[in-house]
Amino acid sequence: MNFERFPNLMCDIGPIASRYSIIQYVPNPIADERINIGVIAFNNNVVRIRFIKNSQRVRHFGMEEIDFLKDFAHRMENGAKEWLIFPADKPDEVPN
């Protein structure tokens, strides 16, 4: 990953990502066509989540309204601030 293109994935000690996952939208599981809509990068100390800004492109790809994806992106970004990324995460647990 070229971190110069993604300055928000940098922290004051350099690139933060030791692991990452691509977040994809699959509007029709039978067709199995997908579009990348975000990335989550993390290590033991920090989590960063970024989603694409051009939601119109995603809407055209899926041929449906994508308010649910915008809500998902908002929840994920807020959850990352508290290390609560997955539904089973609890605020009082230390991530591994």
Cα–Cα nearest to 48, from 8, 93, 18, 86: 8
- Global pTM value: 0.68
Lookup: tokens for 81? 């601030």
pLDDT of residue 42: 82
Q: Report pLDDT for 78.
A: 85
Residue 47 belongs to a domain: yes
90 lies in some domain: no
The residue segments making up the domain with residue 66 are 12-81
Output the average pLDDT for the chain. Answer: 78
- In angstroms, the CA 45 to CA 11 distance is 11
Q: In this structure, is residue 21 part of a structural domain?
A: yes
Helix 55-62 vs helix 67-81: crossing angle, to nearest 10? 130
Number of domains in the chain: 1
**Once rounded to an integer, what is the mean pLDDT over residues 74-95?**
71
* Residue 12 pLDDT class (50, 70, 90 cuts): very low
Once rounded to an integer, what is the mean pLDDT over residues 27-55? 89
